[in-house]
Amino acid sequence: MTNDTVSPISVQLVHALRGHTSDVNSVIFSPIHSNSPLLASCSSDKTIRLWNLNDQSSTTLTRHTYQVHCLAFSPILNDNKDSTAKYMASASTDGTCLLWDLTTISVLKEYKHDSGSPIRVCQFSSDGILLATG
């Protein structure tokens, strides 16, 4: 029996992204590495921020009326062949899940819980055709 040791992973802070005015509830990286890689964050301040990882600039999305808990990038890519994500979903305590068009930074569709209950999670299927919420 050999005693193979596993090298520990070296983790370090590269950059702190500042902008939310309340707790950050979730962060996700865009699924495809492209010329403009994105990090999305959502917060109790009711906003979503899309961070361009090349220059740390951000775009703020402000459609939710209460805390945003979860984000999911769709695996469906943009038509411009630069391998960027085309859609993102956001789930909020306001009882909505929003489907965002990342090309125009606009809401394509708003889904509401029948009872008005909070929606805290969302996830696309691996082909991007289905969106589950809960």
Assign residue 91 the CATH number of its domain.
Answer: 2.130.10.10
What pLDDT does 72 receive? 96
Q: Which residues have CB under 8 Å from 12's CB, separation 6+? A: none
The range of the structural domain enclosing residue 42 comes to: 24-133
Residue 117 in domain: yes
Residue 19 in domain: no
Query: pLDDT grade, residue 132 (50/70/90)?
Result: very high
Residue 12 in domain: no
Residue 15 in domain: no
Mean pLDDT of 31-41: 78
DSSP codes, 37-95: -EEEEEETTS-EEEEETTT--EEEE---SS-EEEEEE-SPBPTTSS--B-EEEEEETTS
Instruction: Kindly report the length of the chain.
Output: 134
Query: Token pair 């193979």 is at which residue?
Result: 4
Residue 6 in domain: no
Comparison of pLDDT for 115 and 49, the residue scoring more: 49
What pLDDT does 9 receive? 86
Question: How far is it, in rounded angstroms, from Cα 90 to Cα 122?
Answer: 7
Residue 8 in domain: no
What pLDDT does 2 receive? 56
Q: What pTM was computed for the model?
A: 0.85
Residue 10 in domain: no
Mean residue pLDDT across the chain: 88
State the Cα torsion 34-87-18-45 to the nearest 10°.
-170
User: What's the domain count of the chain?
Assistant: 1
CB half-sphere exposure, 12, CA atoms < 13 A = 2
- pLDDT tens, 39-88? 999 999 999 999 988 888 999 999 999 999 999 998 877 665 555 678 99
Query: pLDDT grade, residue 27 (50/70/90)?
Result: very high
Residue 18 in domain: no
